[in-house]
């Protein structure tokens, strides 16, 4: 079977067929199997860094985490490389969001949220303008704020409607955002608090199978001394999570 035939077959089996049946791949690359060219990735990364160094550093960490997650889930190396690129580019659309909104501490107004919520679709549109072959990468970027229960944005996709790459990015993005200092948020979670947050949100915000895989990835990470809570999630975490996932 040729490359296009294999891609069509993978697509017809659904987005997670490979992960389910143990055959090659997750179906994440149904259009072109090409990962974005390194010089284009570097140019976008440079633009992100010039616009907002903090977001660029966060994005590099999300790319590394998403790649580690994909590798731990048994995805082929081509898809792992694409996950790294998707992590680096997941907030590409923030280039069009005013910096004072991105950096605003505390709660955003309804109008400011509308501005922020443009960024997944804008990022995807930029990648599609580079090449139609980047459709799966663009869809990963577009879907990184979707939620398993359908309450995310921009499309309100539910469960398996969200591409696996988007579900992986969601976990990697939120974990990094809550554990690292961001200008718009005063509260930072420790390793174990952040793991507990993922567990609490598995099946609602996140794909539970991706959370399980990420907990295994982080099993040997240093936990520090910040673990103070057990049991149910304090209600005060909900705004923290929302603020963490701009
Ligand atoms: Fe984002």
Residue-by-residue pLDDT tens, the chain, 246 positions: 333 433 333 333 333 333 333 334 555 554 445 679 999 999 999 999 999 998 899 999 999 999 999 999 999 999 999 999 999 999 999 999 998 998 888 788 999 999 999 999 999 999 999 999 999 999 999 999 999 999 999 999 999 999 999 999 999 999 999 998 665 655 688 899 999 999 999 999 999 999 999 999 998 788 764 433 333 443 333 334 444 466
At 156 the pLDDT is 97
At 11 the pLDDT is 37
At 106 the pLDDT is 79
22 inside domain: no
Number of domains in the chain: 1
Task: Please tell me the number of Cα atoms within 13 Å of 201 on its side-chain side.
Answer: 26
23 inside domain: no
Q: How far is the CA of 220 from the centre of ligand 1 (A)?
A: 27
- Tracing tokens 């554990």 back to the chain, one arrives at 179
Q: In angstroms, how far is the first alpha carbon of the chain from the final one? A: 43
224 inside domain: yes
Segments forming the whole domain that contains residue 160? 31-244
148 inside domain: yes
Q: Is 104 a catalytic residue?
A: no
Q: How far is the CA of 219 from the centre of ligand 1 (A)?
A: 26
Q: How far is the CA of 199 from the centre of ligand 1 (A)?
A: 21
At 81 the pLDDT is 93
3 inside domain: no
228 inside domain: yes
Q: How far is the CA of 2 from the centre of ligand 1 (A)?
A: 36
5 inside domain: no
Q: How far is the CA of 75 from the centre of ligand 1 (A)?
A: 23
pTM of the model: 0.80
Q: Can you give the three-state secondary structure of the chain, one letter per residue?
A: CCHHHHHHHHHHCCCCHHHHHCCCCCCCCCCCCCCCCHHHHHHHHHHHHHHCHHHHHHHHHHHHHHHHHHHHCCCCHHHHHHHHHHHHHCCHHHHHCCHHHHCCCCCCCHHHHHHHCCHHHHHHHHHHHHCHHHHHHHHHHHCCCCCCCCCCCCCCCCHHHCCHHHHHHHHHHHHHHHHCCECCECCCCCHHHHHHHHHHHECCCECHHHHHHHHHHCCCCCCCCCCCCCCCCCCCHHHHHHHHCC
4 inside domain: no
Looking up residue 194, the CATH number of its domain turns out to be 1.10.3210.10
């Amino acid at each position: 079977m040729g490359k296009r035939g294999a891609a069509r077959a993978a697509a017809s089996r659904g987005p997670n067929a490979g992960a389910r049946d143990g055959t090659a791949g997750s179906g994440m690359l149904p259009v072109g199997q090409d990962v974005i060219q390194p010089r284009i990735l570097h140019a976008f990364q440079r633009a992100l860094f010039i616009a907002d160094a903090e977001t660029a550093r966060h994005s590099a960490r999300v790319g590394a985490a998403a790649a580690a997650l994909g590798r731990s889930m048994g995805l082929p190396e081509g898809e792992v490389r694409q996950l790294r690129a998707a992590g680096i580019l997941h907030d590409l659309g923030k280039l069009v969001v005013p910096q004072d909104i991105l950096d605003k501490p505390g709660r955003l107004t309804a109008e400011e949220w509308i501005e922020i919520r443009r960024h997944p679709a804008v990022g995807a549109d930029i990648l599609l303008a580079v090449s139609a072959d980047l459709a799966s990468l663009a869809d990963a970027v577009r879907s990184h704020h979707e939620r398993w229960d359908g309450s995310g944005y921009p499309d309100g996709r539910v469960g398996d409607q969200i591409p696996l790459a988007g579900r992986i990015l969601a976990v990697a993005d939120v974990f990094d955002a809550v554990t690292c200092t961001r200008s718009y948020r005063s509260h930072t979670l420790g390793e174990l608090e952040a793991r507990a947050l993922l567990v609490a949100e598995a099946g609602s915000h996140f794909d539970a199978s991706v959370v399980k895989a990420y907990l295994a990835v982080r099993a040997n990470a240093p936990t520090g001394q910040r673990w103070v809570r057990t049991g149910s999630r304090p209600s005060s975490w909900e705004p923290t999570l929302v603020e963490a996932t701009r």
